[in-house]
Amino acid sequence: MPSAAKIARTFSMEWSRLGQYRADVILWMIAETAIPFLSLAVWYTVALSGQTGPTPQEIVTYYILIAFIKIATDSWGGMFLTYEILDGDIVKDLIRPIWPMWKKIANNINEKTIKLIFPTLIGITVLLLWPNIIDTSLLTTPHLLLAAASLILAIVLAFVLDITLGLIAFWLEDAFQIRRYKFMLEYVASGLIIPFAVMPPIARTLFEFLPFRYVLSFPAELALGQAEGARALEGFGIQLTWTIGLLILSWLMWRAGLKRYAVPGR
């Protein structure tokens, strides 16, 4: 077990590194909110036609929450892990006196701290300038507390899922293609381009068993009171099962991967 000082030092080093990439961080943050805000434009237009489904206010509230959750749960460490495994760079981290994943965790948490400023400011601005555009009556304290608990689990789940996919590089050279499939599934099965509130029943049932909903849509559904009582409990159960399952799987993959790993020449 590494000492708290080593972990703190890792966080401090990653924070310094972040300073070098500040322009990149800001632009990535804007890019990450592009899809939620595009989807907002589409579904807001649909809601204005007023035929079925959520109201325009519900759609705006949902997508502002989604933009925030998307940045909070975003994870990229697995992609870099794939690179590091494939080109042998991971060796540099393996010889350090701290578990390499601490570096990924520190990088993830530090970067998100900065990235979350943007959607938070948008949320506050929208609330101040157009208070009626958001349905604040839905955001009750019990809903928000449940959403916060789910968001913490979602952050862990997203990180572990990302790292698990990154670890595939120990066995497979085409690990990036699998990431692209994950990216594609995230689009549709997480509530990003289609809110679960308007999803056809068959697709909804299918996607409820995949992990992607619990990374993005589920905390927002809890905040809006769309998942209450037994549905909320069921959601938490699936979210926790995926998180623990992937934690165990990634740990086993890390150990098994290291045993068979042969570093490409450097």
Partner 1 sequence: MQSLVVNTKHLWRVWRASLRAGLIREMEFRGNFIAGLIRQILFLGIFVFFINVIFQNTEQLAGWQQHEMLLILALSRIIEGVINLLFTESIMRLPEAVRDGTFDFYLIRPLPAQFSAAFRRPGVDNFGNILVGLILFAYAISAMTTFPSFSSIGLLLFLSALGITIYYSLLILVSSLVFRLERLEMLWAFNILFSEPLTVPFDIFSRAPRFVLTYLVPIAFVVFVPAQAITGRLQWSQIPVAIGIAALFLTLANLAWRAGLRKYSSASS
Which spans of this chain sit near partner 1 (rule: CB under 8 A)? 20-21, 23-24, 27-28, 30-31, 34-35, 38, 41-42, 44-46, 49, 51-53, 173-174, 177, 180-181, 184, 187-188, 193-194, 198-200, 203
Residue 28 CB-half CA count within 13 A: 17
* Least Cβ distance, residue 207 to partner 1 (angstroms): 11
Q: Which residue has the tokens 């943007």?
A: 118
Q: Please, are residues 52 and 125 in contact by the beta-carbon 8 Å criterion?
A: no
CB nearer to partner 1: give 173 or 234: 173
Which residue's CB is nearer to partner 1, number 48 or number 94? 48
Could you tell me which of 160, 188, 176 has the C-alpha nearest to residue 249? 160
| CA 186/CA 188 separation, integer angstroms | 6
Burial of 52 (0-12, 13-18, 19+ CB in 10 A): exposed
Q: Smallest gap, in angstroms, from Cβ of residue 256 to partner 1? A: 23
Q: For residues 52 and 141, which CB has a smaller minimum distance to partner 1 in the complex?
A: 52
Among residues 155, 106, 78, which one has the least CA distance to residue 2?
106
Distance in Å, CB of 14 to partner 1, minimum? 16
Least distance from C-beta 15 to partner 1, angstroms? Answer: 18
Looking at beta carbons only, is 170 or 207 nearer to partner 1? 207
Least distance to partner 1, CB of residue 99, Å: 26
Q: Which is nearer to partner 1, 71 or 153 (CB)?
A: 71
User: What is the distance between the alpha carbons of residues 186 and 158, in angstroms, rounded to a whole number?
Assistant: 11
